Chains A and B, each alone.
Chain A
Amino acid sequence: MSARGKVLLVEDEVLVAALAVDALEELGYQTIEVTTARAARDIASGKEPLVFAVVDIGLPDGRGDALALELRKTRPELPIVIATGYDGAHLNEALRQQSLTAVLTKPYDIRQLQAAIQSIVQA
């Protein structure tokens, strides 16, 4: 079931990504999986409609919060969930001040993911 639309998942750790894909699918989303910031930028600059994005903070080619700010340039209304092992205090200040941003602390389960999504995505 993917009635709710497509989600961009940026996570380089494949096992964690697999779990996130399962959870997102269970919540009714279809997932576009990428492992790098570069691939995420490519998707965002394309035409694919996205309901929101889940971005890991530590990517092999850059920081997730910096990527989130870049994604907002091409898609200003894109809600973004930042997945991080830290608390939100280490996130980029500019990003933290933007609405449509939620912080999800790792490890997370489907309920926590769902709560983060609900806080930024209009049902």
Chain B
Amino acid sequence: MDVVVPDPHEKTAGGSPAQGQAAAPSSPDVDSIRLALEAGRISVWSWEIKTDVVTWMGNLAQVHGIETRDWSGTFADFQKVIHSEDQPEVIAAVQESLRSRKPYHVIYRLAPHDAQEDRWIEAMASVIEQKDEVVRLVGICRDVTDRQKLLRELRSRAKQQEMVAKLGERALTESNLQGLFEEIATTVADILRVEFVKILELEPGDTALLLRAGHGWKPGAIGSAHESTGRHSQAGYALASGGPVIVTDLKSETRFEIPALLRDHGVNSGVSVPIAGRDGRAYGVLGAHTARRRRFGEHEVSFVVAVANLIAGAIQRRQADQRHELMIRELRHRSGNLFAQLLALFSQTSRTSRSVADLTAKYEARVLALANAHRLITEGGWQSTSLKDLLRVLLAPYIDRVTMAGPDVFLDPDPSFALSSALHELTTNASKYGSLSVAAGKLELSWTVERADRGLQLALDWKERGGPVPRRGRRVGFGSRLIGMVIERQLNGQVARTFGPNGMEAKLIVPLSHERWPQRPVQSSVDGEPADVGEIRPSFS
């Protein structure tokens, strides 16, 4: 094969080199040029238009993967090594240069070779004319794959950032979580150029993950496909590891088994990242997968992590909204109930009062007891109230004569209210007729929490000491009936009162909170639901 070295004195379309430069240093010889081209990894090439012969100097054949024995040296032959998708652009650029006689400049990919990554070539040339006729293109070419990859990486990162910003904005305003998830899945597929994206949600019980939303999966998979949370599954492994799990070749994966969903879709490579939920618990997993064998780069993984964080933010915002809504409903219900209670209390108190003054005093005291319990419950965020705090508030005027012994027990709002009514009545009785009616009298309170047949229960002993000897057989007043009603009927507990020579004693047994009613159905009640809404999951509308 001939190697043609372009004549530097030849006339080019860009104009003639200056004549008569005898003073200039002589040009490097061919060998020096060859060495210089090698050092720069540049080839010089020439295409004779009339004879259609392409020749070169340097590593062009090596760079282009040209086997010289198959090489006939025509432009058509050269065209074959160009990626079929880029051939039209190269041909158009050549034709344009031949027509306009302006320099030729093009960047093209080589035709794919086995599983090799794309290789990019940049070519530049001048148009050589003789007697107003184009006779040849003379130029250089070089491998610019690294530069192109960098450029693509930069473009892709800019696009990723733009998408994270856009989706972040949507996540802040979108109330349709399912729609947002689907949009996110499609965007991730587009940006990462993967066929499959999954958003898995941890199901109650944490044993399985449901394919909540996604992109590319077979019809019917979304909303029904599951992955196990065991460490043997990719998603389970990602949940357990707490960070991204990158798979380049699923078939040779040893850390976990291939989940059915990925196997059925011929997935080979992917990235899975946990999506954070409330209180350090996971919500689920975000995954991007492809059937191709692909090594996911650091920035691609960071992008998936950023999107997973964005999903976590959207979910947490939605959960906060739902909690807020629930609190408002809870408040409305409780206000309604409270007013009903106040009406009932007035009606009942008025029947057993001797005079308006008596009614006023009793009613005020009962409402105050309720108000105190209400304040404690509100301070506790409608979650739970400490029994000790409740007793301290109810017995505040006599607290220096009261001894308390027992573990700290926390009560749900409803039992707190009910118990405070009963304890108020006991206190009122003690202050009128019992140990708290005399300066030397004392009140001993002790309690335990024990496990009975029907579950945990609070056993509270109320012992009045140092007061007048209790009188028996008094008419049962509304206060006593109220104690019986709230402890036995409302709280499903027991109350026993004894009037010994040392003073009145009462034993209250109260089943504790969720175990108050055996065989409670799983379905939750909006009202009965305590303020702990930790398990709320966003609903998809």
Contacts and interface: CB of A to CB of B under 8 A. Distances in A.
A57 B333 CA distance: 9
B340 A14 contact: no
B431 to A, nearest CB: 22
B207 interface: no
Contacts of B517: 36, 38, 60-61
Contacts of B332: 85-86
Nearest to A91: B526
Interface in B477-531: 482, 485-486, 489-490, 492, 516-517, 519-521, 523-528
Interface in A55-84: 57-64, 66, 84
B95 interface: no
Given A13-B490, A36-B517, A63 B341 contact: no
A60 to B, nearest CB: 5
Interface-centre pick from A18, A38, A60, A61 (highest chain B CB count, 10 A): A60
A111 interface: no
B521 A13 contact: no
Given A13-B340, A85-B335, A85-B337, A58 B527 contact: yes
A103 B322 CA distance: 24
Interface in B406-456: 414, 418, 421
Contact of B329 (A90, A105, A107): A90
B172 to A, nearest CB: 27
B333 A108 contact: no
Nearest to B415: A60
B295 interface: no
A110 B98 CA distance: 101
A79 to B, nearest CB: 21
Nearest to B333: A85
A109 B421 CA distance: 23
Contacts of A37: 521
Interface in A83-114: 84-86, 90, 105-109
B525 A63 contact: yes
B337 A18 contact: no
Contacts of B329: 86, 90
B84 interface: no
Interface-centre pick from A13, A18, A38 (highest chain B CB count, 10 A): A13
Interface-centre pick from A18, A38, A105 (highest chain B CB count, 10 A): A18
A61 B340 contact: no
A35 B489 CA distance: 7
Interface size class of A (residues with CB under 8 A): 20 to 34
A15 B527 CA distance: 18
Contacts of B347: 18-19, 22
Contacts of A86: 329, 332-333, 336
Given A61-B528, A62-B525, A107 B336 contact: yes
B336 A62 contact: no
Given A12-B490, A13-B337, A16-B337, A62 B344 contact: no
A16 B340 contact: yes
Contacts of A14: 418, 482, 485-486, 489-490
Contacts of B344: 15-16, 18-19
Contacts of B524: 63
Nearest to A63: B525
Interface-centre pick from B344, B345, B482 (highest chain A CB count, 10 A): B344
A80 to B, nearest CB: 16
A68 to B, nearest CB: 12
A48 to B, nearest CB: 19
A20 B173 CA distance: 46
A38 B519 contact: yes
B370 to A, nearest CB: 10
Given A18-B485, A35-B490, A63 B337 contact: no
Given A36-B517, A84-B336, A13 B341 contact: yes
Contacts of A84: 333, 336
A15 B528 CA distance: 17
A64 to B, nearest CB: 8
A57 B527 CA distance: 7
A63 B527 contact: yes
A61 B348 contact: no
Nearest to A85: B336
B528 A58 contact: yes
A57 to B, nearest CB: 6
B519 to A, nearest CB: 7
Contacts of B516: 60
Contact of A15 (B341, B525, B526): B341
Nearest to A23: B347
Interface string A1-43: 0000000000011111111001000000000000111100000
B361 interface: no
Contact of B525 (A18, A59, A108): A59
A85 B334 CA distance: 7
B339 interface: yes
A119 to B, nearest CB: 20
B368 interface: no
A85 B527 contact: yes
B191 interface: no
Contacts of A38: 517, 519
Interface of A: 12-19, 22, 35-38, 57-64, 66, 84-86, 90, 105-109
Given A15-B482, A58-B526, A85-B334, 4 more contacts: A14-B418, A18-B485, A62-B523, A106-B340
14 contacts: A14-B485, A15-B344, A18-B347, A58-B525, A62-B523, A63-B523, A63-B524, A85-B335, A85-B336, A90-B526, A106-B333, A106-B336, A107-B336, A107-B339
